[in-house]
Amino acid sequence: MIISIEYFYWLAGALLLITAGMIATDRTHPKRWTSSLFWALFALVFLIGDRLSPFVVGVGVLVMAVIAGIGGVGRGAHAELHVKAARASAGRLGHKLFIPALSIPLVTVIGSVLLKNVQIGGVPLLDPKNTTFVSLGIGCMVALLLACILTRDTPLQGLRESRRLTEALGWTMVLPQMLAMLGLLFNDAGVGAAVAHVTTAYINMDYRLVAVMVYVLGMALFTVIMGNGFAAFPVMTGGVGVPILVGIYDANPAVMAAIGMFSGYCGTLMTPMAANFNIVPVALLELPDKYAVIKAQMPTALLMLVVNIVLLYLLM
């Protein structure tokens, strides 16, 4: 293939390494060395992760977890664009500002639909296994280029903003990757099989509707307990989704995954464990009732669970 997903891993790794370098040279940074180490380790996984032994990568991940656990990932001060200058530039550009942002999904869809089977000299243009992600990477580069042209700024400012955003997200940025791995781990450890065993032992899965309900409601319940849909998804999909919905009832895995994840989000709307969504706003808005936001969300979440059951039953 001509454009491989590997290149984008390298690009992501390089970006993270630059971020780590910027932090290391920032004398005013409150947690200079630990933060820098955290992002450098993450960068290494992208750059040479496939050539390192799994043991070394595992140790690196554990070190990252320890750094994040002791609160070692901090935010520095940034040379952001001057507020007035940013306002003026935003006023001048107006709605054109949305062009780069919208170009990302546009290029992604074009790339993954139209360029999917394009070959040059018998070699596929895009990595055939990862067309969508490769197109997404190209889309982001197009967007950066457009943004630089529109704002007459340099890619260097892009790097600075990238560091700002990375630091603003902090360690939560690595969460999706970590939890995806956790999911595979759960699978290998047989957690999915255990869930499957428990559910099939106590609930009659011979009815399609019952199986769908177990998957959707189970996902929401696990999310309520764990506070995060990403953690519940592998357990329920490995336990009920893949073996029963796909295995027995021949469901479309894309539909199952999409609606399953949304069911998890319904759970997120109902749990105080998801503090950043449900508890933090209460403090920000100075509400007297700690559960005010959850109470406001509850009816929508419950209705959505019903909708999800119906949709999954009909669409799968």
Residues 141 and 124: their CA atoms lie apart, in Å, by 20
- The only residue of 11, 159, 194, 265 in contact with another protein, by rule CB under 8 A: 265
Least distance between another protein and beta carbon 122 (Å) = 23
User: Which of these ranges, 76-84, 118-126, 171-179, 196-204, lies near another protein under the rule CB under 8 A?
Assistant: 171-179
User: Which of these ranges, 35-43, 54-62, 72-80, 226-234, lies near another protein under the rule CB under 8 A?
Assistant: 226-234
135-154: which residues touch another protein (CB under 8 A)?
A: 136
Q: Does 42 bind another protein (CB under 8 A)?
A: no
Where does residue 85 rank: exposed (0-12), middle (13-18), buried (19+ CB within 10 A)?
exposed
Q: How many CB atoms lie within 10 A of CB 234?
A: 22
Least distance between another protein and beta carbon 214 (Å) = 18
Nearer to another protein, 2 or 287 (CB): 287
Nearer to another protein, 24 or 261 (CB): 261
Least distance between another protein and beta carbon 25 (Å) = 28
Q: Does 108 bind another protein (CB under 8 A)?
A: yes
Q: Does 115 bind another protein (CB under 8 A)?
A: no
Close Cβ partners of 38 (under 8 Å, ≥ 6 residues apart): 20, 64, 67, 68, 72, 73, 171
Least distance between another protein and beta carbon 225 (Å) = 18
Q: DSSP assignment, residue 123?
A: E
- Contact assessment for residue 35 and residue 167, using Cβ atoms and an 8 Å cutoff: yes
User: Which of these ranges, 69-77, 82-90, 194-202, 236-244, lies near another protein under the rule CB under 8 A?
Assistant: 236-244
Q: Does 86 bind another protein (CB under 8 A)?
A: no
Q: Does 223 bind another protein (CB under 8 A)?
A: no
Q: Does 292 bind another protein (CB under 8 A)?
A: yes
- The only residue of 118, 129, 190, 275 in contact with another protein, by rule CB under 8 A: 129
Q: Does 282 bind another protein (CB under 8 A)?
A: yes
Least distance between another protein and beta carbon 283 (Å) = 10
Measuring CA to CA, how many Å separate 225 from each of 191, 218, 267, 271?
16, 11, 9, 8
If we measure between CA atoms, which residue out of 66, 59, 35, 24 comes closest to residue 45? 59
Residues 289 and 236: their CA atoms lie apart, in Å, by 32
User: Which of these ranges, 1-9, 11-19, 31-39, 132-140, lies near another protein under the rule CB under 8 A?
Assistant: 132-140
Least distance between another protein and beta carbon 56 (Å) = 21
Task: Convert 37-56 to b/e letters by CB count within 10 Å (16 or more is b).
Answer: bbbbbbbbbbbebeeeeeee
If we measure between CA atoms, which residue out of 134, 128, 130, 135 comes closest to residue 109? 135
Residues 129 and 311: their CA atoms lie apart, in Å, by 29
Q: DSSP assignment, residue 80?
A: P
- The only residue of 210, 261, 272, 313 in contact with another protein, by rule CB under 8 A: 261
Residues 297 and 294: their CA atoms lie apart, in Å, by 5
User: Angle 173-308-193 (CA atoms, 0-180°, nearest 5)?
Assistant: 70
Q: Could you list the residues that contact another protein (CB under 8 A)?
A: 104-105, 108-109, 112-113, 129, 131-133, 136, 175-177, 179-180, 183-184, 187, 229-230, 233-234, 237-238, 242, 246, 252-255, 257-259, 261-262, 265, 268-269, 276-278, 280-282, 284-285, 287-289, 292-293, 295-297, 299-300, 303-304, 307-308, 311, 315
